[in-house]
Amino acid sequence: MVVPSLLLSLASAQSLNLDEHSPQFTAKAYIEHNEVYNAESVIPPQCYTKTEGVHNPCYACHQTYSKDTERPNQMRDGDLQGTYEFSDLGIKNHWRNLFIDRTELISSITDQDITNWVNTDNYTPFIQKLKSNSDWHGEITPIENLAYPTLAFNTDGFAKDGSGWVAFNYKPFPSTFWPTNGSTGDVMIRLPMDFQTRGGVYKKEVYLANLSLVELTLKGLPRISTPEIDENEVGVDLNQDGSLTRVTEILATDHYVGDTKAALAYQLYPEGTEFLHTVRYIGVDEHGNIFNAPRMKEVRYMKKHAFKSKQHLASSYYREAKEKAFENLPQTLYLGDKGINNTFGWTINGYIEDEKGELRQQHEQELAFCNGCHKTIGSTYDQTFSFARKVTGKKGWGYINLKSMSDVPNKGQTQGEFLTYMQRVGGGDEFRQNQEMLARWFKPDGKLDADKVRRSQSLYELITPSPARAQSLNKAYLTIVKEQSYLFGRDATLVKAHNVLTEVDETQQPLEPEHRYVWDLQLDWNADQNITNSNVKMSK
């Protein structure tokens, strides 16, 4: 029997185009009653895009790299650009929030109210609450002044509080992480203490050398530039010129330096590597400039609790493929306060706002969503995205700055990545519903104004919203917070999504062969800015 108080309101049911007589639980009710709403939450909303055979946002996740036989990521799912392989349950789109028009819901929220909301620090009290909770057994990740990045990090990205966290400048993943589509954000990395010390003493130059070696091996580079490092402090000839001097370049080697004994492994992080990722509201200052707001929508955490070799990972990928072949629903290994184990060596945890805006740990069903991106898709590097997209070498150490980056191409391509993405998708987001991006960068006939995109001065110009859109997106997300309806989707859409399937027809191909592409999420930061038109087709 369904308790009436747990039902969606009639208005909500009508806005979802549901039968008003059909009982529908609220998201909170599913959690409170331990009822699984969507056992296929690993299928993100973007997978239900109406492609019409030609609009392709799928390539950014689903890739097969047949030429790189040493690549540890062996998912090889590029074929999903051409076929739907959903379970019977996954065929139905469960992301209800995509189909709600929030225009009326946000009308009562004033600009001043939302400005006050997004400019409030909810991270510091969250950390204080965890520290004071003697029953908490998960990680605690304090960074002093994290809500205000200019106070939290120095120019090289090192946290000023000595916590070991280091911010880096990276190109946001297309297009979910573009501010124009709802959120700002940042990512920090931290290596274990023995990667930071020599003889038991912390040495920034040892730490910087090891951070650079992680980047070098993840990207498969023979050498990499660094801020100046005194090799005498490290005790290693980093540039391999036969003497210990001050250097600004490191060459590939077998082992990390300092007190660690760990060996470098191609495209894999060392055991103990941590990432902290904050997803924030869109800040708008008094001059209309867009910035990373103090208030956080989510705090996401990953730690590599176990190193798995390429061979060991192969068995994990095989297990996943076998389970899918037997049409088993995806399994998530829950660890209580510690989050979830993605079974590829990573522990993942996540925190999200409660009704009052205070950060709380995500429920099991909410955490399962994380595996959709950080488990088995073909484009990732060791189940991660952002660090492989870092501005390579010396220039990439420091807090994310969209104004410092231009639209460089992906590795192996010659045309700007975001220009290419908008051409292939046919819009400024996966669903082709960002009207501001369509008006700003597309011609009246619906084609991208490529020349105008090429003339853009920075990523800031390309992918940040107007102040008015930023405020509306913040308000729309706040309504989701008040509903606590994350199980139904976290995308801050303003109106109903029209280019989204409610149910997948598996007899149809997502994309015609000529609209499937090979792509690498790494960037070519050395590319000439006078880039030319080029699309690389998916090889069959």
Mean pLDDT of 97-113: 97
Beta bridge partners of 138: none
Beta strands in 266-375 (DSSP E): 274-284, 290-304, 333-334, 340-341, 346-353, 359-361
Residues in the chain: 540
Q: Taking 70 as the threshold, does the pLDDT of residue 216 lie above it? A: yes
Average pLDDT over the chain, rounded to whole? 92
Q: Tokens 């009290």 — which residue?
A: 125
pLDDT score of 318 more than 70: yes
Residue 24 pLDDT class (50, 70, 90 cuts)? low
The mean pLDDT of 406-435, rounded to a whole number, is 97
The residue ranking higher by pLDDT, 527 or 166, is 166
- Quote the pLDDT of residue 319: 87
Average pLDDT estimate for 211-227: 98
- Where residue 528 falls among pLDDT bands split at 50, 70, 90? low
Bridge partners (DSSP) listed for residue 517: 537
DSSP per-residue letters across 151-206: HHB-TTSBBTTSS--EEB-BPPPTTTTSGGGT-EEEEEEE--GGGTEETTEE-HHH
pLDDT confidence band for 350 (50 / 70 / 90): very high
On the question of pLDDT at 494 being above 60, the answer is yes
Instruction: Determine phi and psi for 184, rounding to 5 degrees.
Output: -105, 175
The DSSP code sequence of 424-441 is HHTSSSTTS--HHHHHHH
pLDDT > 70 in the chain, percent? 93
Q: Is the pTM of this model over 0.85?
A: yes
Q: Please, which residues have CB within 8 angstroms of residue 115's CB and are 6 or more apart in sequence?
A: 284, 471
Which residues are within 8 A (CB) of 34 and not within 5 positions of it... i.e. 6 or more apart? none
CB 267 within 8 A of CB 74: no
How far apart, in whole angstroms, are the C-alpha atoms of residue 3 and residue 318?
43
Q: If you average pLDDT over residues 378-382, what whole number do you get? A: 97
Residue 531 has pLDDT above 70, yes or no: no
User: Confidence band (pLDDT; 50, 70, 90) for 5?
Assistant: very low
Residue 448, beta-bridge partner list: 442
How many Å apart are CA 472 and CA 182, to the nearest integer? Answer: 9
pLDDT at 330: 83
User: Which of 8-17, 304-313, 526-535 has maximum average pLDDT?
Assistant: 304-313
Q: What is the mean pLDDT of residues 207-231?
A: 98
Judged by average pLDDT, the poorest of 128-142, 335-349, 520-534 is 520-534
